[in-house]
Amino acid sequence: MKVEGGEGVKRNDAYTVGEQNGKYKTNLRKRLFVFAAEVVRLIMSLPYRKEYDVFRYQLSKSSTSIGANYEESQAGSRAEFRQKINICLREARETSYWLRLIKELDIFKKEASLETLDNLIREADEIQKIFGSISLKVKDR
């Protein structure tokens, strides 16, 4: 992920991440929204058992928090931007944890659900890398 102009573009004391006209096929805002929606769909397909409630609750919170915090990061000061990006990174790591745990417990028996789960785990890992990179670049300034 690149920051516009190499250092971020300051607009009314807000720093934004450039992606609309960059080399990325999909902007990060949209990517995070789609990811959250896909995770929620996966949660809705979990078999109903009381012990899976924790997965539903924690995974819905962490996966939707990534995009929400990214949205908030676009409207604050540089310090707020840095803080929200770090929250996004932590939430992406937590989301990856819950998805991997669901896979480890072999909750889904259908091939389509397993494929979706694998794709979401990969996407969570990529999102972690994106926010890790942003965090390092912002930290250096």
pLDDT of amino acid 68 = 97
Q: Sketch out the chain's domains with CATH numbers.
A: 2-139 (1.20.1440.60)
The closest of 57, 67, 82 to 123, measured between CA atoms, is 67
What pairs with residue 10 in β-bridges?
15
Q: How far apart are the first and last CA of the chain?
A: 16
Helix-helix angle 111-139:78-104, to 10 degrees: 150
Contact 129, 12 (CB under 8 A): no
Residue 48 neighbours by CB under 8 Å, 6+ apart: none
Instruction: Count CB atoms within 10 A of the CB of residue 43.
Output: 18
pLDDT per residue rounded down to tens, the chain (141 residues): 333 333 333 333 333 445 445 555 569 999 999 999 999 999 999 988 999 999 999 999 999 999 999 999 999 899 999 999 999 999 999 999 999 999 999 888 776 688 899 999 999 999 999 999 999 998 766
Is residue 136 exposed (0-12), middle (13-18) or buried (19+ Cβ within 10 Å)?
exposed
**Residue 84 identity (one-letter amino acid):** K
